[in-house]
Amino acid sequence: MASTAKGPLSGLRVLELGTMVAGPVAATLLGDFGAEIIKIEQPEGGDPIRQSGPMCQGESLWWNVEGRNKRSITLDLRKPPAQQILRDIARHADVLIENFRPGTMTRWGIGYEQLKAINPRLVMLSISGYGQTGPNAGRASYDRVALAFSGFLHMTGYPDRPPVRPGFAVADYQTAIFGALGVMLALYNRDARGGTGQHIDASLFETVFRFTEVMTTAYAKLGIRRERSGNVSYAASPGDHYPTNDGRYLALTIAATNVYQRLCVAIGRPELAQDPRFAEHPARVANYEAINGIVADWIKSNAVADVCAALEANGVPHSLIYSAAEIMEDPHYAAREAIATIDHPRLGPLKMPAVFPRLSGTPAPPLKVAPMLGENTDAVLHELLGMSADEVQSLRSQGIVG
């Protein structure tokens, strides 16, 4: 049995042909728990995320977060000899992750059916904007495009302004999570139930669409069309991002009536718990502006420390809206060890989100620094294919590897 110090996925070999975010992050999530990730990149420049800012001393910090726990080899997959090398490596792999435009891998002779003939146990995850089938399958897509097509952006922002993009690549990261889940489901079926490998078709738009709550059901059944409503939620009242008296914002949302009653005590207005306009949740939603205004006035007219203390004392869920600086200083983040530090050989200590979730019996292994482009080409080709240094150098002179 593998040592838990190596992580619960120790012994799993993953070939990652992805670029930028969704595909590579799916591999990162597996690598965080001990899977061997062999990242295959184009010799000229590699994954574009390596050139995506912010930069520090000429290196991408984003790459150093999502390239962690990986080995990097270069193969120009547009060339037949490199395609054959990929086939040979795939014989030794459990998983292959790619996010090329649908059909690209098949044209190169390394699509799922072609690799399945070589390695029936291979699990292949294909991530694309619109999926491998359907009229939009061949269309290009990015995170923002998927957010638009999924209906997400239609509901994000204020009704009198254009839809607002979230501050992070939501579609990419959500698809990475679903992709990693799909890989684990396929591996469970293969290894615990005597199955074979299979192809996983994950799309950016369907991932986000799955997170749109009851939007489609309510429209199809009741004709309810969700529109942008700012910070107002049909499921909570009062609730908002309230300005504080020191220029920050406090997030607070109330749904359950017993929590609302505790809020009334916290703001020094216990009589509001029996006010018929606010006593029950449907009434509070109908009278949102009135109750929300009362809460907003109380928050704005009191010191932030006093506001938070009163809410905490009465068990009312809330949080100041944190910036990166506040996250770095918060004792709860420190106590949870939610921020990891990697000792980078060129950039020094790099802080980044730690591995999550936490497993009590098989914890994740220590994080490893993201590799330089092609850093492991020679080693991987020797280990898996038995190539000599001269053979690798010959491939390098032909531009097949970098």
Active site (catalytic) residues: 172
162-192 exposure pattern, b = at least 16 Cβ within 10 A, e = fewer? eeebeeebbbbbbbbebbbebbbebbeebee
- Predicted confidence at residue 210, as pLDDT, reads 96
- Predicted confidence at residue 1, as pLDDT, reads 33
* Exposure on the CB side of residue 209, measured as CA atoms within 13 A: 15
| Beta strands 36-41 and 13-16, pairing class | parallel
- Predicted confidence at residue 144, as pLDDT, reads 96
pLDDT tens, N- to C-terminus, the chain (402 residues): 334 468 999 999 999 999 999 999 999 999 999 999 999 999 999 999 999 989 999 999 999 999 999 999 999 999 999 999 999 999 999 999 999 999 999 999 999 999 999 999 999 999 999 999 999 999 999 999 999 999 999 999 999 999 999 999 999 999 999 999 999 999 999 999 999 999 999 999 999 999 999 999 999 999 999 899 898 887 889 999 999 999 999 999 998 999 999 999 999 999 999 999 999 999 999 999 999 999 999 999 999 999 999 999 999 999 999 999 999 999 999 999 999 999 999 999 999 999 999 999 999 999 999 999 999 999 999 999 999 999 999 999 999 998
pTM: 0.92
Taking the C-alpha atoms of residue 232 and residue 241, their distance in angstroms, rounded to an integer, is 10
Q: Map out the domains of the chain with their CATH numbers.
A: 4-211+337-397 (3.40.50.10540), 239-243+249-320 (3.30.1540)
Taking the C-alpha atoms of residue 335 and residue 337, their distance in angstroms, rounded to an integer, is 5
Taking the C-alpha atoms of residue 393 and residue 379, their distance in angstroms, rounded to an integer, is 12
12, exposed or middle or buried, with CB in 10 Å at 0-12, 13-18, 19+? buried
- Predicted confidence at residue 160, as pLDDT, reads 94
